[in-house]
Structure 1
Amino acid sequence: MTPASIEDFRTLARRRLPRFLFDYIDGGSYDEGTLHANIADLQTLKLRQRVMVDVSQVDLSTNLLGREVSFPVALAPIGLAGLYARRGEVQAARAAEVAGVPFILSSSACCGIEEVAAGVTRPPILQLYMIRDRAFMVDLLQRSAALGVETLVLTVDLIMHSPRRRDVRSSLTGSQGLAARLQRAFEIGTHPDWAWDVGVNGRPHTLGNFAPVMAEGAGLAQFTAWVGRNFDASITWADMVWLRENWRGPIVVKGVMDAADAAAACEAGVDGIVVSNHGGRQLDGAPSSIAALPAIVDAVAGRCDVLLDGGIRSGTDIVRALGLGAKGVLLGRAWAFALGAQGQVGVARMLELLRHEFAVAMALTGQTSARSVSRDVVLPTA
């Protein structure tokens, strides 16, 4: 099948990946209501079709996360992407660079910052959590700065892991007894393409950035336990002072869903905000990202850039997000599915697909520049 949509990449990824990995990408927390709302609420927004507007020259480029980009998307931080394809974070970073969009490396990636930076001409953006072990944070920040990393994305909504039922059912987390090990072995054995590409040739299967503070060979279950012990649930906006002392570049805060928090982030001096509910993987029952976006844009009032993360599945979704005030969007599952389906080639195809869809949607709504999409491009809801 030649993929013609993000859903097609999802189908291909489901076929190629062992169930425990596909469910880790695809699933959310609790009943997954917020996960599904992220997509459904975007679909309910109707676009204002315009005609007889000169759209022979539509400029898709903009500035995003401190970079000039070919169109207003960035690849969001995704944990364990090195298990979706061989050295997956490197493959995705290369595809993003060729497409002219930023790649944000998760601190819980399989490939460490040094490996990914060596695979591209411009270092990725680094995503980080607040960790109780501040010495570890300082070390990672210093290593990243030495490589030329310019921008930091601080994720603030993962102070503890929410229950993700699919991961328990697939034996990725939860009980790690004989039955769980046999279940995973069966899934690996019945997906030989993945087993050869990643299981055999994709080693080492480690969390590259966290390797200095974790035991050799530690897996997701051990990492989750480590998170419970070390992710800092006591952080407040006052901690931004400490972070500024240890990071001189732009800081973007990811995980803001409330207008009051957005205003506080601006007061703390952040350079950008990502409206995100962690892809529906944290607080189930929270609103969709697109539903939270307009109030946050109003609260920020131009004091910093606002991006949207969650539910983007098409070029028309990008126009919807820009129409409601976002400067750009982050792609999460979209690139994870593409990577799991076809590796770097898949990520490149996915980005080109979305870029074409975005260009068409811009033209058909009478928009000529991604830097100035009109708010009235989205029709009022009844």
Structure 2
Amino acid sequence: MKRQLPNPSELLDLMQFKRPEFDGKKRRLDSALTINDLRTIAKRRTPKAAFDYTDGAAEGELSLARARQAFEDVEFHPGILKPAANVDTSVQVLGGSSALPFGIAPTGFTRLMQTEGETAGAGAAGAAGIPFTLSTLGTTSIEDVKAANPHGRNWFQLYVMKDREISYGLVRRAAEAGFDTLQFTVDTPVAGARLRDKRNGFSIPPQLTLGTIVNAIPRPWWWVDFLTTPKLEFASLSTTGGTVGELLDAAMDPTISYEDLKVIREMWPGKLVVKGVQTVEDAAKLIDLGVDGIILSNHGGRQLDRAPIPFHLLPQVVREVGSDATVMVDTGIMNGADIVASIALGAKFTLIGRAYLYGLMAGGRAGVDRTIAILRDEIERTMKLLGVASIAELEPAHVTQLQRLAPLEHGAAARARAGA
């Protein structure tokens, strides 16, 4: 091998120095390549009680862990020699379009996580061309969300409260503001036992203890934002004192029934979906009643621990209600591949909650934009690797669900045997 002295011009071609980024937020967010990266940044920047409210689930957090494991236990089956240089990620859902097969799920107390709150989520969703959902327990008003996303799709999530008139008033306000879809939530008759929140003494407004003060010392930016921005206000609660569980128990009503669904259906002029469906039987009954869609969800594992895994339930529900029914899914989505797998197995749409909040806590509106960009890249890359050029081409043959938890006997079968 003949050797020579390095040519300086060739060295310059080989070694391109990266221009330094002086914007700390941009540098921080650019370093996040996955939703888990955003979660790590969020945990570093957010006080423990607020972070744990987002990150945690009910009791032993088994439902959440199982939901995430279910997505990890996916095997894809790519097709070869199927050109997909450009992919179309857009979908039609509930009478309108979405540039991506996911939207932002409703989240409560959002401005406590980061002060831009729902305004950041709605603005980012509008810019990306995807729907944004405001929670009944949101910290930004219906009208302000509309102002933040004036031309995009805004959805509203409804809790039916003990005082029905509060709920009815919210329905009217959402309709007047031009929200096009209502999510009637059925999985929260009472608050789940969110033990992280109880151990942290998490309350609205935050209660200062020695522990919270010590935890806040390395996070002064959060407290500066919290103390120098408008007071937390909730769309439907007349009081904001007490623990999260106490607030939820005051607002929720374990007596809600199909009669309440009928009343809301008559009031609401847009699309109506039921959120929190967890059995095949309930899914079939709701579709037969003519609701516009259902969301398979166990509330992110935050209500009944050991509840069914929505992603596992998905193929059974689609087989029962038909492929034309609008079946959506949430809980546990942390990667664009999770979304692709859900669509392949029959979901018409998916919703992200924690993934959105991790981005919000990591960097406000820019962090939500980064969440959407990460998921978009993962969806596009997964589709290209599968040899799929559009969402419509995804089908069950692309996915195998590898099951770790095989039931000895399904609940319905057990009930039938007991009645025999």
Normalising TM by the smaller chain, what interval?
A: over 0.9
Structure 1 counterpart of 2:108: 79
- Aligned counterparts of 2:86 and 2:324: Cα–Cα separation in 1: 30
Do the aligned partners of residues 167 and 29 (structure 1) sit closer, same or farther apart at CA in structure 2, a change above 3 Å counting? same
Quickly say closer, same or farther: Cα 1:260–1:99, change in 2 above 3 A: same
Distance in structure 2 (CA, Å) of the matches to 1:229 and 1:104: 22
Alignment of 1:208-287 (within 5 A): 209-211=235-237, 214-215=238-239, 218-219=240-241, 221=243, 224-287=245-308
Residue 13 of structure 2 corresponds to which residue in structure 1?
Answer: none
Return the alpha-carbon distance in structure 1 between the equivalents of residues 136 and 170 of structure 2: 9
Q: CA deviation at 1:190?
A: 3.5
Answer yes or no: is 1:201 the counterpart of 2:231. Answer: no
* Segment drifting more, 273-282 vs 110-119: 110-119
User: Could you tell me which residue of structure 2 aligns to residue 331 of structure 1?
Assistant: 352
Report the alpha carbon displacement of residue 285 of structure 1 after superposing the two structures with TM. Answer: 1.0
Q: 1:127 aligns with which of 150, 157, 166?
A: 157
C-alpha change, 1:317 and 1:230, in structure 2 (3 Å) is closer
Of 129, 147, 172, 1:142 maps to 172
CA distance 1:220–1:38, change in 2 (3 Å): farther
In 2, Cα distance between equivalents of 1:115 and 1:328: 26
Opposite residue 264 of structure 1, the aligned amino acid is: K
- Within 1, Cα distance between the matches of 2:324 and 2:99? 24
Provide, for residues 12-39 of structure 1, a one-character-per-residue CA deviation record: whole Å limited to 9, x for no partner.
0001110000000000111111111111
Q: Percent identity?
A: 34
In structure 2, the residue corresponding to 1:204 is in which secondary structure?
coil
Q: How does 1:316-355 map to 2 (within 5 A)?
A: 316-355=337-376
Counterpart residue number, 1:40: 69
> How many angstroms does 1:136 deviate by?
1.0
Match of 2:133 in 1: 104
Q: Report the CA distance between 1:226 and its aligned residue.
A: 4.0
TM-score normalised per structure 2: 0.84
Shift of 1:304: 2.7
For residues 347-380 of structure 1, what are the alpha-carbon distances to aligned partners after superposition, in whole Å with 9 as ceiling and x for unaligned? Answer: 1011111111101111111212113411100036
Q: CA shift at 1:112, angstroms?
A: 1.3
Residue 227 of structure 1, CA deviation: 2.9
Gaps of 5+ in 2: 1-27, 404-420
> Does the residue aligned with 2:161 lie in a helix, a strand or coil?
coil
Note closer, same or farther for the CA distance 1:160–1:363 as it changes in structure 2 (3 Å cut): same
Partners of 1:177 and 1:83 lie apart in 2 by 9
Work out whether 1:53 is the aligned partner of 2:82: yes
Contact 1:237–1:265 (Cα < 8 Å) also in 2: no
CA distance in 2, matches of 1:202, 1:261: 43
- How many residue pairs get aligned? The number is 373
- State the superposition RMSD in angstroms: 2.0
| Pairing 1:63–2:95 present | no
Tell me: higher relative CO, structure 1 or 2? Use CA pairs within 8 A at least 6 residues apart.
Answer: 1
Question: Which of the residues 190, 197, 202 maps onto 1:172?
Answer: 202
Amino acid at match of 1:210: S
Residues 96-130 of structure 1: per-residue CA shift (max 9 Å, x gap): 11111110011101111111112222362111111
Task: Report the equivalent of 2:219.
Answer: 191
Q: Residues 380, 307 of structure 1: CA spacing in aligned structure 2 closer, same or farther, 3 A cutoff?
A: closer
Structure 1 unaligned regions, length at least 5: none
Provide Cα deviations, 1:176-228, integer angstroms capped at 9, x if missing partner: 998x633333333441011112x123321121x114xx13xx2461x632432
